[in-house]
Amino acid sequence: MGNKYKRNRYEELINNIDRGYNEVDPFSDLIVDAGLEPDFQACSSADSQIVLRRAVALDSLFIGSLSRQVFSIYGPYEEILLKWFMLEKSITTILACRNNIRLGFAMLSEPCARYNLPDASELLGIAVVPEKQGKGIGRMLLSAIDSVSLDLGIKWLLLHTAVDNLPARRLYEKIGYKPLEVKRWFYPEGQDAVAMFKQVQTSP
CA atoms within 13 A on the CB side of 174: 11
Three-state secondary structure string covering the chain: CCHHHHHHHHHHHHHHHHCCCCCCCCCCHHHHHHCCCCCCHHHCCCCCCCEEEECCHHHHHHHHHHHHHHHCCCCCHHHHHHHHHHHCCCCEEEEEEECCEEEEEEEECCCEEECCEEEEEEEEEEEECHHHCCCCHHHHHHHHHHHHHHHHCCCEEEEEEECCCHHHHHHHHHCCCEEEEEECCCCCCCCCEEEEEEECCCCC
* pLDDT recorded at residue 48: 62
CATH T-level topology, domain 3-199? Aminopeptidase (3.40.630)
* pLDDT recorded at residue 115: 81
**Average pLDDT rounded to a whole number, residues 54-69:** 95
Q: Render pLDDT for 94-119 as a digit per residue (tens, 0 to 9).
A: 999 998 899 999 999 988 877 888 89
> Is the model more confident about 20 or about 178?
178
Structural contact between residues 123 and 106, judged by C-beta atoms closer than 8 angstroms:
yes
* pLDDT recorded at residue 114: 76
The residue among 160, 98, 100 whose CA lies nearest residue 125 is: 160
**Average pLDDT rounded to a whole number, residues 42-67:** 80
User: What's the pTM?
Assistant: 0.77
Asked if pLDDT for residue 175 goes beyond 90, the answer is yes
User: Which residues lie across from 90 on neighbouring strands?
Assistant: none
Structural contact between residues 105 and 59, judged by C-beta atoms closer than 8 angstroms:
yes
* pLDDT recorded at residue 67: 96
**Average pLDDT rounded to a whole number, residues 141-158:** 95
* pLDDT recorded at residue 3: 46
The residue among 150, 149, 57, 70 whose CA lies nearest residue 104 is: 70
Instruction: Give the integer Cα–Cα distance in Å for 168 and 117.
Output: 23
**Average pLDDT rounded to a whole number, residues 117-138:** 94
* pLDDT recorded at residue 179: 96
